[in-house]
Homo-oligomer: A and B are copies of this chain.
């Protein structure tokens, strides 16, 4: 049964829920660089640029916030340049909101190049082997310099699979680090006079009790928003949805909820149904560069010979330059001939699809028809065109 009710919260100047459809929510994030309608997908701009996409194209397809990565931006261009340029907004010229991940995921991916202690994580740069250390406090400081509107605490993205004992140990450290990060956020002045909202990250691998314990403690710490980390790292889709569900059940209703690194269009729709508001994933951009398109009528391997002479547009249903002005045959030719323009147009199509997906999901939540629409879309989007 679909329940539509408005529950505008006036108490939270950062986030307001505008409509719900069972657990699915339509909301509004309010930052000093603009408002963000949720549920939202955030295109990934690791190094301060969404790969192969102009800022103006991002705006055209409806991007309202993009991601940056603290680890990558700390190494290049580095905090000195970022500070001199007025943060990542000043450097890049992107004027809408930015969210930065803490770099925890990247540092912990450097298996042989990093060492974890209670204090933080020391690591060698993947670029030149130079030695660095991230602490919960230093990562706040770096994100102050970046000037992101929403920024993440330093966590350990627990690898998958993990033993219960390691997952517990890792989760407990993530929780202690979150407390230090919050404390440091409170004590550190802003650099650019723009509000920055710090999100905590729930961990606990695929163990329900660890996820529950972690989220309960983090919620008590009263962060402006909450993320679920450590998913989409190799566990099954069922495990991912289960961990998301136990987490959202504990997250405060009036605060934004962010599922990190997820995922396929189906993952996103199913997680919206579980009460998630925010998503990021490299999938639309990375898959685009490999020639996999997401379209409103299904997935496409653009390199497939069947598109050789296909005059049809990439996606007739999307109001996007790449979707309407490019034939499948031309896009295939560009990929076969290794033309950069192919990467550009495929990226634009995929990001446009993701933005269309969350925008439409929002509309359907407000209309109270989310579940029926979502079920239908999952079938359509999963089919191979």
Interface residues of A (CB under 8 A from B): 47-56, 72, 76-77, 80-81, 84-85, 90-93, 308-309, 311, 321, 325-327, 329-330, 333-334, 336-337, 339-345
| A91-B55 contact given A81-B308, A336-B76, A337-B76, CB 8 Å threshold | no
Q: Is the CB of A49 within 8 A of B341?
A: yes
Which residues of the other chain, B, contact A80 by a CB distance below 8 angstroms? 309
Q: Is A47 within 8 A of B93, CB to CB? A: no
Q: Are A329 and B81 in contact (CB under 8 A)?
A: yes
Minimum CB–CB distance for A17 against chain B, Å = 35
CB distance from A86 to the nearest CB of B (A): 8
Report chain B residues within 8 Å CB of A81.
308-309, 329, 333
CA distance A47 to B337 in the complex (A): 7
Q: How far is the CA of A326 from the CA of B91 in the complex (A)?
A: 9
Nearest 6 CB-CB pairs, A to B?
Answer: A84-B309, A52-B340, A49-B341, A47-B337, A77-B333, A49-B339
CB pair B333 A91 closer than 8 Å: yes
Contacts of A56 in B (CB 8 A): 321, 325
Chain B residues near A76 (CB-CB < 8 A):
333, 336-337
Q: Which of A56, A326, A333, A336 gathers the greatest number of chain B CB atoms within 10 Å?
A: A333
- With CB as the reference atom, state the residue of chain B lying closest to A56: B321
- Nearest CB of chain B from residue A367's CB, rounded to whole Å: 34
B325 touches A49 (CB 8 A): no
Cα–Cα distance between A333 and B47 once the two chains are bound (Å): 9
B341–A54 contact, CB under 8 A?
Answer: yes
Complexed CA–CA distance, A49 and B93 (Å): 28
CA distance A341 to B339 in the complex (A): 14
Give complex CA distance A54, B343 in Å.
Answer: 11
